[in-house]
Structure 1
């Protein structure tokens, strides 16, 4: 029984203009689009020299002199800029433009709401680049669930215990929120894609003496009722050798189970191969061959879905700004739970 591992491609792909030329564009967007056969028609970045260097490297014909000039292009826009710049960029694009926004959708729910409202007011066909749900392994897990291979779901667990080179992301130092909104947001969105929105969330996020960042470790429990247990344990500071490092997404049901390995996170950015394993109840485990990796292949999916939806080939835009707002609402709920610091312990009176 085969499993879906890729999103269908648009029949008539439109050219793409990328706004922002940081590392994620070089390492993921451009390799993914070249692999998919998408044409990148131009780049814009406030640092024009950086944009020109990337254009020369990837044989991209145009580097725009200004955001306003880029916004006039007849293209699909890939906004790969920091979230604090999203509102200005969306307000500059022409009305009814088609645009893919880099995640997160702002740094908090208030910013996400403003971005959503701008997209609505300007009639933008706008989606957010939550690409993990489009990865070969996550598409396959979703298809296995639809086919009934796992049965009624009972467990979803994300376990991340490794070393993340935070020094590669200096722009995060000023952010009051880091881990959940910049990293675990991927898992929260992927979980929503599989089982919808939880009733509530219990969360605690922690800093680390070695990072200098606001929060880099998290524990979360998502409430989906009495039979489905969903939890995340995230530690980016397990710097004690490879042996016990882990990057795993586990889904279990009454009939079967699936385990995905996020290889890119182990020794990031070089990474290891992704893996997907499936088993019926009682075993044995079989490894499913994967047709692509999270990085860069999963970055094809959001652009393909966006272009197909814009052309009327897809009925649903999976990570449209309205759906992405729901992921941001879950992130916000996690941080609000963190701020409440849980239920205080009852105190035993000693003066009785």
Structure 2
């Protein structure tokens, strides 16, 4: 059953040039490699640190490094805002009304910021999407297609298990954040789960700080309530630094008639990573490994841009991670944090 599952997003018939605002590590590691692979033209780069933008432009043969946001915004292009979330509102205010925009995730650091971003996009009539790219990865598109075709039957289980050592030193900007793990990492899984099965009724969550005290939350236990039939949970531990043997990064979806398990390879030995993998099974048959047409990093970064450009051109009827939909992912993140702030049910004592 594994050779007829969607694994990529259709490409726009007439791709527009892209201007990227922000040239941090994610641009060099994912955006630019993905866009080159897709055949997209990157017309220019902008960064507060012009020398960094110039160096990256030279490395990737991008023709221009802009001096100001205003100069970048004047380009006839689709805008990829890869700056930190705290800068998104200011940049959005300077883009031309009606522009097509892709925002790096998260959509702000909390729901208030997400709401402000959504409202700016409404006010300026922006065609805006958020780069929740995991749902566009080959493995997740294939799982979603298998679910859509009914090949797994009625879903009974979704489980995300992360037990590995994340090199937090690569993300020094997170040290000052009051929220880290859910809004920066598990947000991908929450968005991908929403893409599969919609909105949960409620969420129960508890996050735990980095053991050293240098960061806020880096470990999370979470249950999403989808009623009495579908069990949905996340067990996230970024501090298992005892060698590769028992490290794990998996996304399991199980139904009455079949199951799928994806290995999120990029997370293992990040940023070098390991290959992604996807296994599928039908009841009564053997597990089959699905050959994947791409990886989460960088290939999945093609999908959000392709969807945005096709939607802006009228070729797609749905913008999958539209800011209106992304706001709902942020609302789920906010609910998870609020759940963690509340005391659990006390245990009766004799």
TM score, norm. by length of structure 1: 0.98
Where in structure 2 are the equivalents of 1:159-198 lying within 5 Å? 159-198=161-200
Q: Structure 2: how far apart are the matches of 1:233 and 1:282?
A: 29
Q: Does the 8 Å contact 1:278/1:285 carry over to 2?
A: yes
Q: Where in structure 2 are there 5+ consecutive unaligned residues?
A: none
Q: Which residue of 2 aligns with 1:209?
A: 211
The corresponding residue for 1:103 is: 105
Structure 2 match to 1:81: 83
How do residues 1-352 of structure 1 correspond to structure 2 at under 5 angstroms?
1=1, 2-210=4-212, 212-348=214-350
Measure, in 1, the Cα distance between the counterparts of 2:113 and 2:121.
12
User: Cα offset for 1:211?
Assistant: 5.9
State the Cα RMSD in Å.
0.7
Partners of 1:166 and 1:211 within 8 A in 2: no
Distance 2:117 2:346 in 1: 37
CA deviation map 1:241-293 (0-9, x unaligned): 11100000000000000000000000000000000000012341100000000
SS in 1 for 2:217: coil
Count of residues in Structure 1 that have an aligned counterpart in Structure 2: 348
Deviations 1:169-207 (A, max 9, x none): 000000000000000000000000000010000000001
* Corresponding residue SS for 2:121: helix
TM-score, scaled relative to structure 2: 0.99
Give CA deviations for 1:71-101 in whole Å, capped at 9, x if unaligned: 1110000000100000000011111010000
| In 1, Cα distance between equivalents of 2:175 and 2:345 | 30
CA distance in 1, matches of 2:285, 2:345: 40
- Cα distance in 1, alignment partners of residues 170 and 106 from structure 2: 18
Q: For 1:344 and 1:50, how far apart are their aligned partners in 2? A: 53
- SS state at 1:172 partner: helix
Structure 1 stretches of at least 4 aligned residues deviating more than 3 Å after TM superposition: none
1:9 aligned counterpart, secondary structure: coil
User: For residues 114 and 294 of structure 2, what CA distance do their matches in structure 1 show?
Assistant: 30
Offset at 1:61? 0.4
Deviation at 1:345, TM superposition (A): 1.9
Matched residues in 2 for 1:211 and 1:318: separation? 37
State the Cα distance separating 1:221 from its structure 2 match: 0.1
SS of the aligned residue for 1:216 comes to: strand
Distance 2:127 2:334 in 1: 24
SS in 1 for 2:176: coil
SS of the equivalent of 2:193 reads helix
Q: Distance in 1 between matches of 2:211 and 2:164?
A: 16
